[in-house]
Chain A
Amino acid sequence: MTASVQERDLVVIGGGPAGLAAALAAKEDGIDDVLIIERSDELGGILNQCIHNGFGIHLFEKELTGPEYAERFIKDVMKEQIECLTGTVVTGLSREREITAVGQESGLLKIKAKAVVLAMGCRERTRSAIHIPGDRPAGVFTAGTIQQLINLDGYLPGKTVVILGSGDIGLIMARRLTLEGVKVQGVVEIMSYPGGLNRNIAQCLNDFGIPLYLSHTVVEIRGKERVEGVVVAPVDSRRVPILDRSFYVPCDTIVLSVGLIPENELSRMADVRLSSTTSGAYVDENLQTSVDGIFACGNVLHVHDVVDFVTRESWRAGKNAARFIKSGLPQCGIAVKPGKNVRYVVPHVVSGEQDVEFFLRVSRPMGRSVLSIQPGLREVRQRIVKPSEMISVTLSADVIAKAKSSGEIRFELDERGTGQ
């Protein structure tokens, strides 16, 4: 019964926006033997359940829905005749790029690939991960699960909802639930600023009169069998709940939008080095991980807020995987470091031989700020920066090359004086 081992050039794990772009890019650069393995029955990933619009503004200058955005890439994948195995789950991955997968069409499958692109996306943080005390009734969902149940399956969880966390999916679900006749009692956010994009606060909460409780959190869930309500309390500056100012909000459903975690279980199996800040792989400017020939892109690498950036990043991953297969990739020796007020920068290491687009996130909301890159260049940012909005900066090879002597390039952010 032992499956024979297939040899493939490139295997892309995940058929969401990241995987589709990576596969297409590699194909464009002359890799004909590309296989996409997708665990769901359809390509498109989480985009399929995102029936709201707003996708593609950067890339297509259009406001597409999630399925429309995905469709553009799926069509291209079909046109390029890239092989796709859907309903197939990768169960094993080694440093030597040996893949084990299980699917209804193919049974148990073993593949040895010349290169692998990790594009598995992310999962949602759960109630236990943020340890909300209280009873354990039915009616506690993550925002993405609710989105799937409503948009793909056609069911509503309940009729009065409290949303914890102001991440984008939570905000979008506040609007979606309201349009379905569900009463959204409010969105509760522990931070003093919203977790999602400004446009979502405006379009999903303000337009519908849904209250946003900043610097508040849920301190208890009540209900023996089904959720009956939550206790909400304000938090102090150290985010400790002020219990004597708590209040009770009746509801039958709680929706959690409290963060996303890159799904790197397969990466761990292959000994890919992971960052504790992004929970994704350490990658160089080619999106190659610490393991030769294994690349990572999209939300499995770091959580993006806009799919257009996922596509752009993944396109590069696919191109570089193709380069790796054809001629190999140069070593990178300049470490990229987040400095003051910067939470992380991706990629983590660069060469100074080519232009690089860096993605970074700040650690706190700031007013007009200056982003400085040491050594060498200083770039002025005019606008307000927030942790929820990823910043993209492209540096040319000669600018990066200035860091060759120190071996380190540092990104720092300073708030401008109030007078400016």
Chain B
Amino acid sequence: MVHFLECVVKAVSELVTRPKDSLGQFDILVIGGGVVGTAIARSLARYRWKTALVERFAELSFGTSKANSGIVHAGFHSTPGTLKAELCSKGCLMFPDLTSELDVEYKQNGVIMVAMSDEETDKLHMYLKQGEENRVPGMQFLSGDELRSREPNLSDRVVAGIFAPTGGVVSPFELTLALGENAAANGVSVFLETEVTGMEVRDRSIVQVNTNKGSIVARLVINAAGLYADKVANMAGDYSFTIRPRKGEEYLLDKRLEGTVHSTIFPLPTPVSKGILVIPTVHGNLMLGPTAEDTDDREDLSTTFEGFQQIFSMCSKMVNGLSPSDLIATFAGLRPASNRDDFVIGPSEQARNLINVGGIESPGLTAAPAIAEMVLEIVKDMSSDLGLSIEENEDYDPTRPGVRRFRCMTDEQRAAAIAEDPLFARIVCRCEQVTEAEIVDAIRRGARTLDGVKLRTRTGMGRCQGGFCTSRVMKILSRELGIPMTSITKRGGESRILLYEIKGLLSASSDSVGVVGSDRTLSSGASVDTSGGDSKA
């Protein structure tokens, strides 16, 4: 009770003393905590600018980046001369160093684009030429049989293909979370559950950015707001582009099928997407997808029966041995496609202190590190006009403390890890072999929701989908964060998992979940259920 009242008193006093200007003054504000926003924030941290990043969700990467296919594209898909082509080719080559600095799992498994007719084979030559223009190294044209000797499970329909060795796979959320963690370690202030609600613009300059948590003053605003990048630009009087989401459904299969294919298998692209792929994920699952469906709903993450049918029929044409009986997870993401054919990156023509980084659809994940470098150069160009000095941050450290993953260790490494920390001997998620030590580490690195732990450690990502470990992970979250079980959410907001304590619905008024009776100390002690409100001040 005391704790709850203290929160109320504190919240009220904050309202009185800091009515508006609560989040502070910064040199640069980055809007958006996806892979693009976090990559930019990390690059900016190399200089002595006071930088803030705001993200509307409970944790970084919870928007579009979470549902990305995780492919590091070699770069032959994009039309030469476009920003997509330039930044994709550049970004792809940055991945080996970037992922090693951040200790993010990355596999350079190569990509194969297959043709299933003579007509398609002709088109392959066009992509081969395009790849050469985009300076994609090591591409090869291979016959159907040559491809099958490399990938025995390719179907007999495949008559030819392009192999590009520099393509790879990465975990998009792991990368985003790592970029954000490293940015924060280098001094960037990260504000979560902070949604931009408006801007005050004077004389074509943004003088204040308003959020649901208070306002922010910054000399320069970088708009990496993904699905809402156009809305954010609009707030500054910039109507130069619009975003129309394109939904993609993904279907993840059991690890039993690991090794079915080694490289990522692409069909020929369609007019709106790179087509539906068979992806050997960096974690050893097979993933099928994504579909490409234009939508006007920027929050629609539903999967559909049509998507399911389309994906299995497309993928089965390219690869043998795929069956819906191996499905373990399905999800959808929204690509922030713009009304331009290309990425929209550059200083706003309307607002003097705004840089737009919008329309970052595929190959946005691959391009992200190169986009960050490009934005850094734009910031430097604009710095004198904005009164920003360019001073290097000598304390900048690009490396993130390594993540110890039990599932990746040899038996000898496991024994050593257990000797150091006995929590490595407690396997919490048995499907993915995640230990309590890793969960505690994830929480110390910032996880505060069930999905936050899941994306960092893989708890609940295996074949039982959290059936056995959900309650155990929640208990660890509850213990480490000091919050009641009934306050833990799946991914922030109203996504609480357990709404009541046992017997909570049998008391006089079942609608009020304010305070739990003192006689109920069965399982979790005298916890106070503040589920009606936000218990994190």
Contact = CB atoms under 8 A, between A and B. Distances in A.
B458 to A, nearest CB: 15
A2 B422 CA distance: 16
B502 A150 contact: yes
Interface stretch (B354-362, B394-402, B412-420): B412-420
Given A2-B412, A156-B500, A226-B494, A103 B522 contact: no
A131 B312 CA distance: 12
Given A145-B470, A157-B499, A131 B324 contact: yes
B419 A123 contact: no
Nearest to A219: B305
Nearest to B435: A102
Nearest to A87: B426
B433 A91 contact: yes
A126 B412 contact: no
Contacts of B303: 131, 133-134, 136
A142 interface: yes
A134 B302 contact: yes
Nearest to B424: A102
A131 B498 CA distance: 24
A380 interface: no
Interface in B246-261: 252, 256
Interface in A128-175: 128-129, 131, 133-139, 142, 144-145, 148-150, 152-159
Which of B252, B305, B501 has the most CB atoms of chain A within a 10 A radius of its CB? B305
A180 interface: yes
B245 to A, nearest CB: 15
A259 B313 CA distance: 26
B465 to A, nearest CB: 4
B99 interface: no
B418 A108 contact: yes
Interface string A1-35: 11100000000000000000000000000000000
Nearest to A220: B302
A250 interface: no
Contacts of A252: 499
Interface stretch (B24-32, B119-127, B271-279, B485-493): B485-493
Interface stretch (B84-92, B177-185, B364-372, B504-512): B504-512
Interface in B479-531: 485-486, 489-491, 493-506, 510, 522-524
A159 B510 contact: yes
Bin the interface of chain B by size: 35 or more
Given A131-B324, A156-B502, A137 B495 contact: yes
B522 to A, nearest CB: 5
A166 B485 CA distance: 29
A145 B466 CA distance: 9
A136 B503 contact: no
Interface stretch (B10-18, B225-233, B327-335, B341-349): B327-335
A154 B524 contact: yes
A139 B497 contact: yes
B425 interface: yes
B299 A224 contact: yes
Nearest to A159: B505
A138 B463 CA distance: 18
A155 B485 contact: yes
B382 interface: no
A103 B424 CA distance: 9
B430 interface: yes
A154 B303 CA distance: 32
B141 interface: no
B212 interface: no
Nearest to B486: A155
B497 A157 contact: yes
A100 interface: yes
A108 B422 CA distance: 11
B467 interface: yes
Interface residues of A, number: 54
A315 B467 CA distance: 29
A207 interface: no
A120 to B, nearest CB: 10
B330 A128 contact: yes
Interface string B62-84: 00000000000000000000000
Contacts of A142: 467
Contact of B415 (A1, A39, A129, A159): A1
Given A123-B468, A180-B505, A181-B510, A1 B412 contact: yes
Contacts of B503: 180
A148 B464 CA distance: 15
Contacts of A129: 325, 327-328
Contact of A108 (B302, B414, B493, B506): B414
A138 B496 contact: yes
A136 B195 CA distance: 22
A159 B325 CA distance: 32
A107 B425 contact: yes
Nearest to A130: B327
B440 interface: no
Given A102-B425, A123-B463, A138-B490, A155 B495 contact: no
A181 B467 contact: no
B467 A144 contact: yes
Contacts of A152: 471
B455 to A, nearest CB: 14
B465 A102 contact: no
Nearest to A181: B505
B497 A128 contact: no
B327 A2 contact: no
A123 B467 contact: yes
B434 to A, nearest CB: 11
A244 interface: no
B207 interface: no
A133 B500 contact: no
Contact of B418 (A2, A102, A157): A102
Contact of A104 (B328, B422, B467, B522): B422
A157 B498 contact: yes
Contact of B465 (A106, A108, A126): A126
Contacts of B256: 268
By Cβ-Cβ distance, the 9 closest A-B pairs, closest first, are A181-B505, A154-B523, A138-B490, A138-B495, A225-B494, A155-B498, A108-B415, A225-B495, A1-B415
6 contacts: A3-B411, A129-B325, A131-B327, A152-B471, A155-B485, A159-B499
Given A107-B415, A108-B414, A153-B471, 9 more contacts: A39-B427, A137-B495, A153-B523, A155-B485, A155-B486, A155-B500, A156-B499, A180-B503, A182-B505
